Amino acid sequence: MPELPEVETVKTALIPHLSGRLVTRVEIFSPRLREPLAPLAAAGIEGRRITGVGRRGRYLIIRLDDGRNLLVHLGMTGVIRIERAEIPRRKHEHVFFHLDNGDVFRFECTRRFSVVKVIGESSPELDALGPEPLEEDFNAGYLFKRSRGRKTPVKLFLMDNAVVTGIGNIYANETLFRCRIHPLRAAGSLKRGDFARLVEAARATLREAIEAGGSTIRDFRLVDGSEGHFAQQHSVYQRRGQHCPVCGQTIGHLTLGGRSTFFCPGCQTEPRKGKKAAAPGQ
């Protein structure tokens, strides 16, 4: 489900529920998610105290008092709830962490594309991630350097976690619309100024989405079960056939890297070699 704004929203909501709590019991109901859950069962989490909750890209990092971390990736349909133990288990809830105040941290994931595991200080999956889009090291110069010689469409470049982490299909579409860059433009063809606009568009889009509690398309829920409201502000995502909020043209659609791609043919000019380079100002 989640991209950066959704995970950030969950993180913020979890902090008051988890910080300082003792994990009294771990219950595992499924043999595996994306990875087997047996190592989690054997990790000796019971009796550990949670010292904090962080986020890196789309990963939640729940810090334990022995220096290890619980790493949680929500996949496409992961939902975390904090509820009392009396509430019956739902069909796709796979792991319960019982806390010393009677609350239960429950992990649900319909499609089981998610990850829940214990890691040390770091892990290979975290080390492979590029910069955070809301941090300073994500900037026009970095993207310019990183994109030289790359023919890959800028949308896929933007969704590459090694380039920048946390931007998935929804926010790649919205970001490119916002900075008026066509998703098919070759990453290596963009100029430094294009990347400057792209960086600002990504930051603004992500910040607004976090403010709205993320985008609930179908499955995503906040920790208290409520929905994120940013989908109502999507300009192009899942708006094929509707009118562009800026120029009124009909939102177009194409498939890129197997993913649904939405754009405004009026605002986001088609990549054409040498053609209309003069028309649109910036």
Q: Which residues pair with 105 in a beta bridge?
A: 82, 97
Respond yes or no: is residue 133 known to be catalytic.
no
Q: Per rule CB under 7 A, is residue 235 in the interface with DNA?
A: no
Q: Which residues pair with 187 in a beta bridge?
A: none
The least CB distance from residue 172 to DNA, in Å, is: 8
Q: Per rule CB under 7 A, is residue 90 in the interface with DNA?
A: no
Q: Per rule CB under 7 A, is residue 69 in the interface with DNA?
A: no
User: Which residue's CB is nearer to DNA, number 23 or number 202?
Assistant: 202
Which pairing describes strands 115-119 and 69-73: parallel, antiparallel, or unpaired? Answer: antiparallel
x/- binding map, residues 1-40, to DNA, per CB under 7 A? Answer: xxx--x---------------------------x------
* Range 155-194, binding DNA (CB under 7 A): 156, 159, 161, 168-170, 186
Q: Torsion over CA of 39, 41, 47 and 49, rounded to 10 degrees? A: 60
Q: Which residues of 45-68 are buried (b: 16+ CB within 10 A; e: fewer)?
A: beebebbebebbbbbbbbbbeeeb
Please report, for the chain, how many H helices and E strands are present, in that order: 7, 10
Positions touching DNA (CB under 7 A) are 1-3, 6, 34, 57-58, 73, 75-76, 91-92, 110-113, 125, 128, 149-153, 156, 159, 161, 168-170, 186, 214-220, 228, 256-260
Q: Active-site residues: which are they?
A: 2-3
